[in-house]
Structure 1
Amino acid sequence: MSWTETGFGFNDYCLLGLIIITWGIFFYLPKLFSKQFTVLIFLYSLTFPSIIDNSFGVTPFDFYDIMDGPKYTGMDLVVYLLYLPYGYIFLYFYKKLCTSDKYIILYISIATIISFCFEWINHKIGIFHYKHGYQIIYSICFYLISQTILIVYYRVVELKR
């Protein structure tokens, strides 16, 4: 498959729409966390995907491209605006729904399925392009790991309060 940046296209419009929706959800939700902790959630939500993208999306692996090809454009960076509210939304519902430790595995599993579906939508509209044998199913491992780490981090912070 060949794709190149030819201008502002369908995937760019969809990306902006998704960003508006995810940030709209963030701003709509009541604030459960302090501003300082919200900043830490945002930092985590930006750092973890950046490390993964810059490890597996470039040489020697080069398993996928973001947006319109292998060259970085401004819209490649805009994609990261999707990740910031997701971590907050994930922890918000964790705090609201997981009143007992027995629900953590179920919660992470459901959140992983939701994340996988969201990535599949992003792939279908042309935000992610897989190559060199990468399959979207491999992303499940990254979701399980990143969401588990975020919950552990949250629990550590809560214990220190």
Structure 2
Amino acid sequence: MNLFAIVQYDQSFNSNEWFILASLVAGYTLILILPKRYPPAYTLLFLFIGINSGIVFDHTISIPPFDFYDVNDSSKFEIYDFLSYIMYGPFGYLFFYLYDYLKLKGYFTFLYIIMWSIIAMFVEGLATYLGVFHYKNGYQFVYSFPFYFYIQSLTLTLFIILMKKAPPNK
């Protein structure tokens, strides 16, 4: 079995590219129109956390030795793969923004993480349906939930620590 064989799923500009472009435009537009809660450096940090969370976890399980899925039209890295990572930025930002806005504590923090893990599953399901993700090597959709729950728990913990140690001047 060749772990580095390139699989081509399609060669057309179709639903997966449109999904990525629409997500990018909608997500970054929403960030621009929301009332500002953070200085620009914090906004960029929260966007980068979302982007890097996607990159780290996608590359942890989507490349050999695991190789559980391919992204977009081919198993090789392409420009829309890069854009799909940038697409994660607004999700990260909104995750922190709403948590801060709602001023959640205790049990509600746990429910918030569960809610966002379900939102992430919905978005992944839609993206999979539209051809952004192609599962392989036994990977199943439901396996993604623990990854979302873990990364959101970890990043929210870091957010809470940051807000206590270096609260932004709002």
After TM superposition, the score normalised by the length of structure 1 is 0.92
Q: Which runs of 5 or more residues in structure 1 are unaligned? A: none
Distance between the aligned counterparts of 1:88 and 1:20, measured in 2?
14
Larger CA deviation: 3-12 vs 117-126: 3-12
How far does residue 108 in structure 1 lie from its aligned partner after superposition?
0.6
Task: Pick one of 13, 34, 38 that aligns with 2:43.
Answer: 38
Work out whether 1:56 is the aligned partner of 2:51. no
For residue 18 of structure 1, what is the aligned residue in structure 2? 23
Deviation digits for residues 40-83 of structure 1 (CA, Å, limit 9, x no counterpart): 21222122221111121111111000001211111111101210
Distance between the aligned counterparts of 1:71 and 1:102, measured in 2?
42
Larger CA deviation: 81-90 vs 17-26: 17-26
For residue 109 of structure 1, what is the aligned residue in structure 2? 114
Deviant stretches of 4+, over 4 Å: none
Deviation digits for residues 115-146 of structure 1 (CA, Å, limit 9, x no counterpart): 11011000000011111110111111111111
Correspondence 1:5-154 to 2 at 5 A: 5-154=10-159
Q: Does the Cα contact within 8 Å between 1:98 and 1:107 map onto a contact in 2?
A: no
Comparing both structures, which one devotes a greater share of its residues to helix?
A: 1
Deviation digits for residues 8-54 of structure 1 (CA, Å, limit 9, x no counterpart): 22221222112111112211211212211122212221222211111
How far does residue 4 in structure 1 lie from its aligned partner after superposition?
3.0
Aligned residue pairs: how many?
A: 160
Q: Quick one: percent identity of the two aligned structures?
A: 29
Q: Does the Cα contact within 8 Å between 1:48 and 1:146 map onto a contact in 2?
A: yes
Q: Does the Cα contact within 8 Å between 1:45 and 1:83 map onto a contact in 2?
A: yes
